[in-house]
Structure 1
Amino acid sequence: MCRSDVKQAVLAKNDDLAAELRGDLARQGVTVVNLLSSPGSGKTELLARVLARAVQRGVPVAALTADLATENDAVRLARSGAPVQQVLTDGLCHLEARQVRARLAGWLPADTSVLFVENVGNLVCPAAYDLGETLRVVLMAVTEGEDKPLKYPTAFGSAHLVVITKTDLAEPAGFDESGFRANVHRVNPGVEIVRSCARTGVGVGALLDRALAARDGALHRPPLAPHPHGHHHTAPAPAV
């Protein structure tokens, strides 16, 4: 079996497991939100704000956060008051559905309605792995450049929602937001783009509202883009 065949087999197995996990969680009333970004995008701080807002509003949420090492992010997120678990990937540059399923076993609180999964900081491999999510969010800081969607078309092309982070730095960074939006829509026509700033709270409510809309089946979600190497995703089924 050649290398590409092995890769396709791994992705196919992951997709099957992700579909099974999505169905199992849907029957429990749980919607998964998968957060993807490069390292340093600010997604941990933004997620901490979202979790805290959810707790304040009485929304039963939980989070998994993945890193190669340390439990620093889990500690930060747990300050929100939401249940949080750390996943250590031991060098793996992405999460897989099997890891999510294993970590949830015997842990996920019964009343959870939205589970946020903070993926490993990487816009390459994580884009190819369905984690059983209903909503896939790709985040990018203004300091990363407006052409990033063209450099990582699989990640941005598979997003159901794109979030611009650190917008308070847009002017000093010389960020061309209109150019960024045009580039996002070149690879993912019509996808919604939300501005955010964890420092000021801008976009926190919007991200939580989109997650709740996905939970309630009220959010338009374009189908996931095809995998690299020809293996195709099917569009995630809505949570019921």
Structure 2
Amino acid sequence: MDVFGVDIGGSGIKGAPVDLGRGEIAEERFKVLTPHPATPDAVADCVRQVVRHFGRPVGQVGVTFPGVVVGGTTRTAANVDKSWIGRDAAGLLGEQLGTPVTVLNDADAAGLAEMTHGAGRGRTGTVVVLTFGTGIGSAVFIDGRLVPNTELGHLELQGHDAETRASTRAKEDEDLSWSRWAKRVGRYLAHVEMLFSPELFVIGGGVSRKAGKFLPLIEGVSAEVVPAQLENNAGIVGAAMAASAAPSAPSSAA
């Protein structure tokens, strides 16, 4: 049976069966809009729609979540309804799908995929994977090992929550040019670099498809900065990887 990855975001919920050997989605992904309010039951129904769309037998399922996840329980909730806080997300989704579900932080999932199959493959030292979208997600790796739930998008930057200034949503909401947005991203990266001294930044999320428009404009950062190779599919692939590696139990989590 197939292993599925589903990526819950603030604006959309997307997923696909995943070819774990190649680190790629096995079919074109299917996406539905994130419900508003994005309550646990409403989101769980959307996850079920995404998985059932493919009409294939379902084995394990990995699901990303925009917040801190510990032991399958969601501890924070960014860009979704606050009723997720303290919820047994793995149990809820497992009941909806009737199969074991692994839940992990969205950026951690993207990071796992990029470190195994993408821009971070073979890299040692400290690597920071950042996903820019509705918010800013982060995954920190030290010699290939994940430090989970870092949530660096919520660092304070010039008196603001960083993702309110440098996310893709901020660019769109404020109608920022690529150059103005790149300055904000550069200041954010410099701040993260001061704290973690990474050798490499991997920039993911949907905006990674347009890396040529802003990465050359980023200044003030010593570390290498590269676009994610799996682009916006990294979360789906990483979620499936985590599900495949987890014990086969409904409450298993990465």
Give the TM-score, by structure 2 length: 0.33
Structure number with higher strand proportion = 2
Give the TM-score, by structure 1 length: 0.35
